[in-house]
A and B are shown apart, each in its own frame.
Chain A
Amino acid sequence: MIRFVLQRLLLLPLLMAVFSILVFVIVEAPPGDFLTSYIATLASSGSSIGAEHVEALRRQYGLDQPIWVQYLKWVGNLLQGDLGLSLEYQRPNAELIGEQLFLTVVLALFSFVLTWIIAVPAGIYSAIRQRSVVDYILTVVNYIGVATPNFMLALVLMWVAFAYFGISVTGLFSPEYQGAEWSLAKFLDLLAHAWLPSLVLGIAGTARLTRVMRANLLDELNKPYVVTARAKGLSEWTLVLRYPVRLAFNPLVSTIGWYLPQLFSGSLIVATVMNLPNIGPLLLRALVNQDMYLAGSILLIYCMLTIVGTLLSDILLAWLDPRIRMEG
Chain B
Amino acid sequence: MAGAAADMSAAEERISVASNWTLVWWRFRKHKLALASAAILAVLYAIVLCPDFFSTQHPERTDARQAFIPIQSIHFLDDGKWAPWVPAAVGKRNPVTLRMEWGADPSRRIRIGFFVDGPEYRFLGLVRAKVRLVGPLDPEQRIFLLGSDRMGRDQWSRIMHGTQTSMTIGLVAVTLSVVLGIVLGGISGYFGGWTDQVIQRLIEILQSVPTIPIWLALSAALPRDWTPTQVFFAITVILSLIGWTTLGREVRGRFLALREEDFVLAAELAGCSRWRIIVRHMVPTFLSHIIATSSLAIPVMIINETSLSFLGLGIRPPAISWGVLLQEAQNIQTLALAPWLLLPGLLVIVAVLAFNLVGDGLRDASDPYSK
Contacts and interface: CB of A to CB of B under 8 A. Distances in A.
Contact of B212 (A148, A158, A268, A295): A268
A202 interface: no
Nearest to B221: A29
B256 interface: no
A149 B214 contact: no
A159 B332 contact: yes
26 contacts: A26-B217, A26-B218, A27-B217, A27-B221, A143-B356, A147-B349, A147-B352, A151-B326, A155-B330, A156-B345, A159-B336, A159-B339, A159-B342, A163-B339, A265-B211, A266-B212, A268-B213, A269-B307, A283-B217, A287-B216, A287-B217, A288-B220, A288-B312, A299-B213, A302-B214, A305-B210
A15 to B, nearest CB: 7
A30 B220 contact: yes
A168 B333 CA distance: 11
Contacts of B349: 144, 147-148, 152
Contacts of B209: 19, 22, 303, 306
A284 interface: yes
A287 B313 CA distance: 10
B217 A295 contact: yes
Interface of A: 15, 18-19, 22-23, 26-27, 29-31, 143-144, 146-152, 155-156, 158-159, 162-163, 168, 261-262, 264-266, 268-269, 272-273, 280, 283-284, 287-288, 295, 298-299, 302-303, 305-307, 310
Interface of B: 205, 208-214, 216-218, 220-223, 299, 303, 306-307, 310-313, 326, 329-330, 332-333, 335-336, 339, 342, 345, 348-349, 352-353, 356-357
B211 to A, nearest CB: 6
Given A268-B213, A269-B311, A299-B217, 4 more contacts: A149-B303, A163-B339, A168-B332, A269-B307
A306 B208 contact: yes
B213 A155 contact: no
B335 A159 contact: yes
A27 B213 CA distance: 12
A158 B336 CA distance: 10
Given A15-B205, A26-B218, A305-B210, A146 B356 contact: yes
B249 to A, nearest CB: 13
Contacts of A299: 210, 213-214, 217
A272 B223 contact: no
Contact of A155 (B212, B223, B335): B335
A159 to B, nearest CB: 5
B216 A261 contact: no
Contacts of A23: 217
B223 A30 contact: yes
A261 B345 contact: no
Contact of A265 (B213, B220, B223, B330): B213
Contacts of A26: 214, 217-218, 221
A31 B353 contact: no
A284 B216 contact: yes
B299 A283 contact: no
Given A30-B223, A307-B208, A143 B357 contact: yes
A225 B329 CA distance: 55
Contacts of B310: 149, 151, 269
Contacts of B339: 159, 163
Nearest to A155: B329
Given A143-B356, A152-B348, A155-B329, A283 B336 contact: no
B336 A163 contact: yes
B208 A302 contact: no
A299 B307 CA distance: 18
Nearest to B220: A287
A26 B128 CA distance: 44
A261 B211 CA distance: 9
B247 to A, nearest CB: 15
A327 to B, nearest CB: 15
B368 to A, nearest CB: 21
A235 B82 CA distance: 66
Contacts of B333: 162
Contacts of A155: 326, 329-330, 335, 342, 345
Nearest to B346: A152
B210 A303 contact: yes
Contacts of B210: 261, 264-265, 299, 302-303, 305-306
Contacts of A146: 352, 356
A196 B175 CA distance: 36
B345 A149 contact: yes
Nearest to A287: B220
A258 to B, nearest CB: 8
B213 A283 contact: yes
Contacts of B221: 26-27, 29-30
Nearest to A162: B332
